[in-house]
Homo-oligomer: A and B are copies of this chain.
């Protein structure tokens, strides 16, 4: 094991019009400290994942803000890897502890997305892709993922109904998740009949625009029991990168960075996919969850659609995926998503997930993607 997670904090995701980025960040920081029954004076370093705080709120320099929120003067930096900023912040915190420079590190994720126009958000988010080769020519993320969906359909016979089944399951989980942005259940028909965004992806194949934040406290394994009766241990942590632009990749229907990161993380943890009891994966679009299942080796390449449609990924079935509601129903405050994934699996591994609790949750995996797959971060955790 590498480090222990001894505190977690989150706020309800959604359109938090009453809370600015500073408030959201402070709220989750305090929640994590309270969860760990810890003083802010115990924190040695802070890493905060955020993708577009400058573009969306005018506020860069969230590192200093995160330290100021706790009235401490410790080293504190922002980490950005597009929508994988949260997962990447966890890795920075983990390395700070492993380096011997810090005993206790706070990692945060935050994004305030609803204070500006949808057009401005869409443009900002395209900064996760390739500005010269994609954004300049009119690409948006729905259109990039629609190309992947179409390639997957062509290559493996994946259907729109199978894609829709992912969103249906996410909303079911969202209905059981106290912090989810969307708690309404939906049907396959509703997904198929919702507004077409980028063929074959409809509105309900797409994750929403969300305000949100989450926080966690990491420490050395040997200190874990001091702060938590139910510590969770990170046993694998890996990240890999690929070209920013989708067209430059080896394949449209496979995510190379995710395959590399998963392989390395399994190796570090000394386990295989069969040992994992639940997964939080980066379902920015329904096709992304199917591709994640293949990258993580949950199913063979091309088999994800049928597997999902058969109901194998509900919280109480074979391989639970996205019990939080995923990006689709819990919401996708981009820089916070990686920390939310950590929040959800720690909650599950503590056996505190109430109505969405996965039975016998011993080992979990998180999969956090930046852009169309230019960055993937995979973590493996066990209780």
B61/A371 in contact, CB under 8 A: yes
A51 at the binding interface (Cβ < 8 Å): yes
B80/A128 in contact, CB under 8 A: no
Q: Nearest residue in B to A21 (C-beta to C-beta)?
A: B131
With A and B bound together, what is the CA distance between A57 and B135 in angstroms?
11
Query: Chain B nearest CB: distance from A3 CB in Å?
Result: 11
A60, A67, A256, A375 interface centre (most CB from chain B within 10 Å): A60
Q: Chain B contacts of A92 at CB under 8 A? A: 77, 92, 95
Query: Chain B nearest CB: distance from A249 CB in Å?
Result: 11
Q: Chain B contacts of A242 at CB under 8 A? A: 64, 68, 73
B244/A65 in contact, CB under 8 A: yes
Q: Is chain A's binding surface mostly helix, strand, loop or mixed? A: mixed
Interface residue range, chain A: 35 or more
Q: Chain B contacts of A97 at CB under 8 A? A: 99
Q: Chain B contacts of A57 at CB under 8 A? A: 131
For A241, give its contact among B75, B241, B375 (CB under 8 Å): B75
Query: Chain B nearest CB: distance from A332 CB in Å?
Result: 15
Q: Chain B contacts of A63 at CB under 8 A? A: 80-81, 88, 241, 370, 375
With A and B bound together, what is the CA distance between A92 and B45 in angstroms?
12
Q: Nearest residue in B to A55 (C-beta to C-beta)?
A: B54
B96/A61 in contact, CB under 8 A: no
A374 and B79 contact, Cβ closer than 8 Å, known pairs A55-B55, A57-B131:
no
B127/A73 in contact, CB under 8 A: no
A79/B81 in contact, CB under 8 A: no
For A243, give its contact among B68, B79, B123 (CB under 8 Å): B68
Q: Chain B contacts of A82 at CB under 8 A? A: 60-61, 64
A22/B132 in contact, CB under 8 A: yes
A303 at the binding interface (Cβ < 8 Å): no
A117 at the binding interface (Cβ < 8 Å): no
A370/B64 in contact, CB under 8 A: yes
With A and B bound together, what is the CA distance between A78 and B51 in angstroms?
10
Q: Nearest residue in B to A248 (C-beta to C-beta)?
A: B68
Query: Chain B nearest CB: distance from A48 CB in Å?
Result: 9
B131/A75 in contact, CB under 8 A: no
Q: Chain B contacts of A128 at CB under 8 A? A: 60-61
With A and B bound together, what is the CA distance between A325 and B88 in angstroms?
35
A52 at the binding interface (Cβ < 8 Å): yes
B99/A244 in contact, CB under 8 A: no
Query: 7 closest Cβ contacts across the A-B interface?
Result: A60-B127, A64-B374, A98-B99, A75-B239, A67-B241, A59-B131, A95-B99
Q: What are 10 of the A-B contact pairs (CB < 8 Å)?
A: A51-B60, A61-B80, A61-B81, A63-B81, A63-B88, A64-B243, A74-B241, A75-B91, A77-B91, A78-B79
Residues of A near any B CB (own CB < 8 A): 20, 22, 51-55, 57-65, 67-68, 72-82, 88, 91-92, 94-101, 123-124, 126-132, 135, 238-244, 248, 256-257, 260, 370-371, 374-375
